[in-house]
A and B are shown apart, each in its own frame.
Chain A
């Protein structure tokens, strides 16, 4: 019979139509009250799909959800280094980033000019970021993670879409909150809730870090050691190697000379790096800021350094 197929199709739409109301009646008055009802309606048991009333209720995102990355810093109540960056500015995230949207200025010791395991500036251009999650996946220090905050719309991209270190930094407890299982897995792999470098220092000092469990996740970390974590192995090696130390000193002198030569005539050129360093300095805890302020970052000298290292 002609038209039977159409009638069958219409029956399907009619069934959908009726089912919606049946379901509403079944959960009358309870659909916003009980969590399990919500789960059923967003799960497989429900017929069809149920609308998420967006600004009033939001569909929470799963743990592995990735949006824009953020930088992990110590909690503000950390006994030894509150708000300290986990990032050691090793640069792996910048290398592994497919669209190359991460910019890092490696930190240097204000006294010696040697690199220290801490970024001076860290930028992510979220207009380029493709949310792939490689930075978080390959970071050896668990210092960069993918955020779950997707509510980022803005009216102006020039000012809001390059996230600097201050904007990117979020405490470790935030990461534990948004991804408890993953954070626990990572901590077990690291061997403690602390930063890998601190764990290393603790082990050297003969102290065993607390084994991470779901229970002690949000416990306040006890005072660990009296010593501030050592600079990384590279620098220690430089100290041990007198020839390298000598080289470093010479480079320092050359650098200072160059700075003096440039200082008088090119203030404009030196100003922008200083400006970009300023917000980074703000985000740093007071005690890590050297009283005299940091020397201005010299890009040319840094590039020369890199070239020299590559040549070797």
Chain B
């Protein structure tokens, strides 16, 4: 572990000035109301991006996403957020392209981490990226009609552009959406559908460029043996893919030659629905991103919207007690998530279910607290813009209402104190004792799935994956939010970058979280009775125009919400763009690299060590 200083805000205006000096005719400042950063001439994007990375030092591309300004301007826009791994705020740069023939040069050679994000932009927005090595659909299947995130693309059950829908009140005669659609199945076909040419091209497209049918010896110039490459398809139904993830693995014998992740099996259109929702509607939807750590997702989204609200005149920041409770919840969530991650990593290593059962049993104790405070075990929906839903209750009390109900009743502060001071440290130690020195765990994980630090940065890896490679980057310190600056904790860093270190770093992080929680407890006592909400609760707040990128250090890595508020001069009630920078999704970019050269049995372990959740990967 390293001692890591809190970085002061680095000078973004200076960077912008330098950019403007070097490229006076290709860079101009973004002057739209509430926007920041620069707009770059798309023809010189690659060149400028290289300058941003090498000369200005913004070496970490956090997020690359598209926005469709249909109806406002006849343009689409790629928005890039680049950071310095030393810390500090983002340099935001954008490239614009006309809607009818959208094309923006690919940045994959500058930042390989842009790979999946550009594929997503192609899939959902239809922006082409010349120079991209593998520009295929990523979330939907090859052959899908249209690019659904475009504002003028409507799905089968489309009702209205924005919620709330007029059909719900005051004349809300209940009707299932199926009944409005001829097929009843949430589908709509292009009017010129040709049934005779109908075929499923989705699988074909996946296997087309794997070089099948070419024998290995032919490639290596030795024709004495005729062996072929073997393609193994893992998933989407596979016990070790943590959901519905799929990998197409090309093998030479048992050694992996290439691995291509295939996702989208849980693509449930989070962002499209998010743009139809009001700002508040999105909060419970964020629960379902990374459904193991819903509290953290809530916080990330709340921070992003609060950034926008802060541009308004009557904004009041969250109260101190609200911030204390937020950090309490988020750190407990981190522990929950790491219990789960370690338990199931061991499952993938072959220790079938015993470590996972121990981890789940401990997790239940924290979920009991979440259930008593937020009302649900998993889908907490707890944060609000300007505070939290409700103060933590005096007592964790269950109430009998059905037959045979067994009631529990604990004092919340006592419960929390015992949980944080005794129960969790004890169970972390137990997991440590149980697993860390086990020779089987070591032989399966040491040296497997190595990711060097420079590659981790280039691939935009985040969270434990990045820090296990020796990069001490943690959003809580790099760009502090909430009350983290006043808390004393270290960033856990390990240097070997293999599965074992990723396991160890999760144990370290749990211990650091306990350290934070121990500092939170007295603050909770001290602020008892103080308000948990600033201002008045609004159900449809109007949000000032502009853009915001709120990011938090989720248990799985950096979770970012890019939100654009546009389209209504009075301040819209619905986000124009709602993008989720999902750590699970972007961490997977490096999966193929990490697996090459290892045996096929190591794939599940490497995947387990990244710790993905499909709700977030596919959104």
Contact = CB atoms under 8 A, between A and B. Distances in A.
A39 B410 contact: yes
B539 A56 contact: no
A91 B401 contact: no
A8 B172 contact: no
B34 interface: no
Given A98-B282, A130-B284, A149-B402, A62 B171 contact: no
Interface residues of A, number: 74
A2 B439 contact: yes
Per DSSP, chain A at the interface is mixed
Contacts of B166: 306
A59 interface: yes
7 contacts: A5-B437, A42-B406, A91-B168, A95-B539, A104-B168, A132-B287, A148-B401
B405 A6 contact: no
Nearest to A65: B375
A106 interface: yes
B430 interface: yes
A98 to B, nearest CB: 4
A178 B399 contact: yes
B163 interface: yes
A60 B438 contact: no
Interface stretch (B203-211, B253-261, B414-422): B414-422
A133 interface: yes
Contacts of A5: 436-439, 441-442
A38 B396 CA distance: 15
A100 B442 contact: no
B375 A133 contact: yes
B450 to A, nearest CB: 22
B174 interface: yes
Contact of A302 (B170, B374, B393, B415): B170
Nearest to A96: B539
B164 A94 contact: yes
B408 A103 contact: no
Nearest to B371: A62
Interface of A: 2-6, 8-9, 12-13, 16, 35, 38-39, 42-44, 48-49, 52, 55-66, 89, 91-92, 94-98, 100, 102-106, 115, 121, 123, 125, 130-134, 137-138, 146, 148-149, 151, 162, 177-181, 272-273, 276, 297, 299, 302-303, 306
Interface residues of B, number: 75
A58 B402 contact: yes
Contacts of A151: 402
B379 A94 contact: no
Given A104-B169, A130-B284, A61 B398 contact: yes
Interface in B139-184: 163-176
Given A105-B172, A149-B401, A276-B173, A57 B372 contact: no
B525 interface: no
Contact of A89 (B170, B360, B381, B433): B170
Nearest to B414: A44
A97 B390 CA distance: 19
A272 B173 CA distance: 9
A16 B285 CA distance: 38
A58 B399 CA distance: 11
Contacts of A48: 358, 361
Contacts of A49: 360-361, 364-365
B186 to A, nearest CB: 13
Nearest to A307: B166
Contacts of B72: none
A6 B444 CA distance: 13
A115 B376 CA distance: 36
B284 A102 contact: no
Given A44-B365, A94-B168, A177-B401, A103 B539 contact: no
B281 interface: yes
Contacts of A97: 164, 168
Contact of B280 (A44, A94, A134, A297): A134
Given A105-B172, A302-B171, A177 B399 contact: yes
B372 A60 contact: no
A302 B168 CA distance: 13
Contact of B419 (A44, A100, A105, A123): A44
B376 to A, nearest CB: 6
Question: What 7 A-B pairs are tightest by C-beta distance, nearest first?
Answer: A103-B172, A5-B437, A106-B170, A132-B284, A49-B361, A91-B169, A60-B398
A102 B418 CA distance: 41
